[in-house]
Amino acid sequence: MSKSPLPSKRVILLNKPFQVLSQFSPHEGKTTLAEFIEQPGIYPAGRLDFDSEGLLLLTGDGQLQHRLTDPRHKLPKTYWAQVEGEVSQQALQRLQTGVVLKDGKTKPARAVAIPEPHRLWQRNPPIRYRANIPTTWIELTITEGRNRQVRRMTAAVGYPTLRLIRCAIGPWSIGNLQPGEHREDTVPHDLLQSSGSKTARTSPRRGRYYQRSRAR
């Protein structure tokens, strides 16, 4: 039995597993979102890299999709990054004030060292540890959406990212979702108002933007 279309005032929250493309169409034998969601007429609102994990929003409302992905609205995104080495306060301060990348200086961000997240799941396959080098977890919140931005930011301050998980987007958090699990949620009123603007699209974008997983 086919599922009904997703109501326009709701979104799907998916915990995208590691090495899954943020698209529904088949692509060179790689795992896609079609393995986890059968809802018709929905598309990702944003992107998440093939080798990153965590929260991905999906909607069938083109205006809402535009609102969630338009960088002018600065919807914050929060990540857990496991990096190589013991992160210094100086490095955290650089992340907070902005670091210079090849495409310019990043905007101010929230960056703090945290313990390993308590609800963290095992990644398959796991990261490659080096016994003589410790790792640190950083919680990083950004308002930009540059290509692989978080990984480039941590590398720029001397701490390569080993594992990257997006745990929140705006008002939505990953909660207790396990990899591959999803749930529906409501859209806050302020986002619904913004998504009704005349400049917003009326149907979800389906072009190459979602045919490749280019995210952080």
CB 173 within 8 A of CB 39: no
- Please state which architecture CATH assigns to domain 76-169: 2-Layer Sandwich (3.30)
CB 106 within 8 A of CB 71: no
On the question of a cis peptide bond just before residue 117, with omega within 30 degrees of 0, the verdict is no
- Please state which architecture CATH assigns to domain 10-72+175-210: 2-Layer Sandwich (3.30)
Give the residue range(s) of CATH 3.30.70.1560 domains in the chain: 76-169
Q: What are phi and psi of 171, to 5 degrees?
A: -80, -5
Among all residues, which ones are annotated catalytic?
Answer: 49
Euclidean distance between CA atoms 216 and 211, whole angstroms: 16
Which of 140, 148, 142, 157 shows the shortest CA–CA distance to 87?
157
Tens of pLDDT along the chain (216 residues) come to: 456 667 667 899 999 999 999 999 998 889 999 999 988 889 999 889 999 999 999 999 888 888 888 877 778 999 999 999 999 999 999 999 999 999 999 999 999 999 999 889 999 889 987 878 999 999 999 999 889 999 999 999 999 999 999 999 999 999 999 999 999 999 988 777 655 544 434 445 443 333 333 445
Pairing of strands 161-169, 53-59: parallel
Tell me the pTM.
0.86
Alpha carbon 24 to its chain centroid, in Å, reads: 17
Euclidean distance between CA atoms 117 and 80, whole angstroms: 8
Two structure tokens written together for 172: 């939505």
Give the residue range(s) of CATH 3.30.70.580 domains in the chain: 10-72+175-210
